[in-house]
Structure 1
Amino acid sequence: MHALVDFAAIGIGPTTILMFGLMVILLLVGMPLALVTLLVALSFILLGYGPAAIPLITSRIYTFVENFVFVSVPMFVLMAAMLDRSGIARDLFDAMKLIGGRVRGSVAVQTIFVSVILAAMSGIIGGEIILLGLLALPQMLRLGYNRNLAIGVVCAGGSLGTMVPPSIVLIIYGLTANVSIGDLFTAAFVPGFMLAAFYVAYVLIRVYLNPTMAPPPTVEPMPLAQKARLLKGLILPILVVVFVLGSIYGGIASVTEASAVGVGGVLLSTIVRGEFSWRFLRESAMQTLSTVGMIVWIGIGATALVGVYNLMGGIRFVSSLMTGISDNPTIVVLVMMAILFVLGAFLDWVGIALLTMPIFVPIVKTLGLDPVWFGVLFCMNMQVSFLSPPFGPAAFYLKSVAPKDISLGDIFKSLAPFIALQVLAVGLLLTFPSIAHY
């Protein structure tokens, strides 16, 4: 069987429009992204090159899935699944009372602190937002916090897993862009905590400018025994974070090895706490299988599609198009950020990374820019997409556990100030690249 369509005669511009137009149509009819990308890739390679070209695509897919670092993804997802089912997050939230209570808005601030620790333990956002939606949101509403502020803190704080190492977004970017994941983690450390600091500063400024947004601080005397009990809830999570990130930053373990250390640490914590059971392990494993299966299939489809597009000369076409926009690298990067922002409103971050980074990263290198810095910038952009309407996943995660009187419209309205803070962080990273130092 020979090629049925001469894409070279049609031209790469019209072919690009045809390819991505077909993708949009299939996505609009409800087909999953993984199947859409795989179907479009197979259709175009069979029509344009015949069955003999298929091994070119399968070799690309094999290169993607056989990377040893990819093992860390199911490990970190398993950590998150076990955290979902254990009481570690609840005890961690209660333990934050030891450092809260003395300032107005303390519960909102401790929610952000808990978010950072949970993000440093698991690296994904879905379970974290649901946990905080069940733990922190009802408590803030009961205490009389402004509803919009409470919703925003839970969604924005719960999304910090995108930026705070060991972020799975950074891992997927590193695999796609072929850059050191250890360098990415180091570079993302300051920007991640900078964003968390922005959230804390925003909460404190709002509640002190408008005291009705949060109840006055109440300091209740706490017996020593209760303090010791609360402290126990803080020790195990902190130890897991120290061992995981400390082993990576200290050069003791690779990211993959550190992920295994993290799983062992969380598993040991559940045993110490008396929460471990075979049912607990089985349910955590099944949730991990479901999540990682989705990531792998999106990866297979996106890798195949990019391979076909590259075969057609598409990556050279996009590269010349992007670099022709301006001689100023900052303008080119801003255009990339705009494209990623638009895609973030419709596609999953995994698909965005795997579809765009093989095209964008070579352009970034051609412009003489640092691909590690660009990876951190990409993750910060994905933070914005997690909160932005119409399909910001953070809002939908929270809606699944929020009180019935809180609508999706209420949630998106509450997220506007936090989206502005994320855009500010993107602007600072663009203006001062040294923030992402490694």
Structure 2
Amino acid sequence: MDPLLSSLILIIFLFTLLLSGIWVAIALLSVGILGLSLFTSVSVGSIMATTSWGTSASWTLTALPLFIWMGEILFRTRLSQDLFKGLSPWLAYLPGRLVHVNIVGSAVFAAVSGSSAATAATIGKMSLPELRSRGYNERLSVGSLAGSATLGFLIPPSIIFIVYGISAEVSIARLFIAGVIPGALLVILFMGYIIVHALLYPDDVPEEDTQHLPFIEKVKLSGNLIPVMLLIAGVLGSLYNGFATPTEAAALGVVGALLLSLLSGSLSWKTFSDSLMGATKTSCMIGFILVGAAFLTVMMGFTRIPIMLAEWIDSLSLSYYGLIFVLTLFFIVLGFFLDGISIVVLTTSVILPMVQQAGIDLLWFGVYVVIVVEMSQITPPVGFNLFVLQGLTGHNIFYLARAALPFFLLLLTAIILIVVYPEIVTWLPEQATIRK
């Protein structure tokens, strides 16, 4: 059968399964089985066995459940309760005042959870009732939270960086370091927007929230955040200085999170077991998707789909910027229907050959993909952050999407900046000493 026709059949079958609501991993495995059965003569069973084992037996993959467990442990401490109290005195003087807690709080929690949805849920439970009770504009409050919670994907340690690193065979430690400056850039863009909005629409921000506290009092109020910040610095610092591999840094993070939970009085058997089960469920889900994606990748290799797609893109003679523009549109459209991890594992095998052929740095491309995937978290109909906020606020999905639109555009601005100035991504990893 003609390779183009076979690829079209498989794509239609895949999207049919995805739109039906079936598990992503099952959809990937089903398409792989169909492709190998119809278009090749290889043994499906043996290919599935070797692919499943090769994917799940990766030592690099051990960092994934450990970082997830670290986030689950800290999620169940008093961090979320202390975050608003600790951050608000420092941010009350900025135009926009306590709305900035959504952004800075999301950045802090992103560094301990690695999850966008978990960041939205945790910060939302803490900040939205406070902002509502103080008279802040509702659309500004929920929009800023929807946008800033996407930092859970970019600020290390990021789960999606681990997934991309395994799929693309790129150093996870270098990806973590590469996400630091773009993450800080997004924080600056988000806070800058809040400042401008507050200056243009002062009625959206109440006046009575300004707090005049002495420096020592601010430090006391922020005291409960210091151990967590030290833990984050220790985990990332061990990676940056080459003292630990990603797996070793993840283990350090778990031990540190357990100690913090114990010292804060939050560690109980229920907390421990709930965090362990939460990490197990999430890790198994991601691992299952990775196995399905690896099996689909092998099938695509037999059917020559990635090679044909790369040759087709090459035949268009697109410029560097033209290719990035087309890929951005492609990922945004996928984001309407798929979650971020599924987008990465589903497209890596198809996209990377053409990216490499175009001479694009895979480390830079990983950060680019994560920022584009962040946009999918705040676009309907499958925007996970919007689903989380819908449960917290009761607003319909389209109200939340409109509220998050300025932050979608700011994410797009960040993509333009890293395309024009790739050093934003590549400079810091070049300075770091990193162990494999």
Please identify runs of 4+ aligned residues in structure 1 that moved more than 3 A: 47-51, 217-229
Find the aligned partners of 1:387 and 1:360 in 2 and give their Cα distance: 23
Residues 95 and 194, structure 2, Cα contact 8 Å, conserved in 1: no
- How many residue pairs get aligned? The number is 427
Residues 123 and 165, structure 1, Cα contact 8 Å, conserved in 2: yes
Partner secondary structure for residue 127 of structure 1: helix
Whether 1:55 and 2:43 are equivalent positions in the alignment is: no
- Hey, what does 1:153 align to over in structure 2? 144
Whether 1:137 and 2:128 are equivalent positions in the alignment is: yes
Distance 1:12 1:226, change over 3 A: same
One-letter identity of the residue aligned with 1:426: I
- Hey, what does 2:5 align to over in structure 1? 14
- Hey, what does 1:309 align to over in structure 2? 300
Find the aligned partners of 1:361 and 1:242 in 2 and give their Cα distance: 32
Partner secondary structure for residue 179 of structure 1: coil
- Hey, what does 1:193 align to over in structure 2? 184
One-letter identity of the residue aligned with 2:146: C
Whether 1:397 and 2:373 are equivalent positions in the alignment is: no
1:321 to 301, 308, 312: 312
Q: Which runs of 5+ in 1 are unaligned?
A: 1-9
Root-mean-square deviation over aligned CA pairs: 1.8
Residues 387 and 419, structure 1, Cα contact 8 Å, conserved in 2: yes
Find the aligned partners of 1:111 and 1:334 in 2 and give their Cα distance: 31
Find the aligned partners of 1:372 and 1:391 in 2 and give their Cα distance: 27
Q: Which runs of 5+ in 2 are unaligned?
A: 430-436
Q: How big is the shift at 1:62?
A: 2.5
Distance 1:196 1:255, change over 3 A: same
Q: How big is the shift at 1:223?
A: 8.2
Whether 1:419 and 2:419 are equivalent positions in the alignment is: no
Residues 52 and 291, structure 2, Cα contact 8 Å, conserved in 1: yes
Q: Deviations over 1:180-217 (max 9, x none)?
A: 11221222211111011100000011001211111125
- Hey, what does 1:178 align to over in structure 2? 169
Whether 1:352 and 2:378 are equivalent positions in the alignment is: no
Q: How big is the shift at 1:219?
A: 4.1
Matches within 5 A, 1:7-406: 10-50=1-41, 52-216=43-207, 218-220=209-211, 222=213, 227=218, 229-402=220-393, 404=394, 406=395
Of stretches 47-56 and 187-196 in structure 1, the one that deviates more from structure 2 is 47-56
Residues 104 and 216, structure 1, Cα contact 8 Å, conserved in 2: no
Distance 1:204 1:20, change over 3 A: same
Residues 146 and 385, structure 2, Cα contact 8 Å, conserved in 1: yes
Find the aligned partners of 1:221 and 1:108 in 2 and give their Cα distance: 17
TM-score, length of structure 2 as denominator length: 0.94
Q: How big is the shift at 1:109?
A: 1.1
Q: How big is the shift at 1:286?
A: 1.2
Residues 57 and 307, structure 1, Cα contact 8 Å, conserved in 2: no
Residues 77 and 122, structure 1, Cα contact 8 Å, conserved in 2: yes
Q: How big is the shift at 1:409?
A: 2.1
Distance 1:187 1:222, change over 3 A: closer
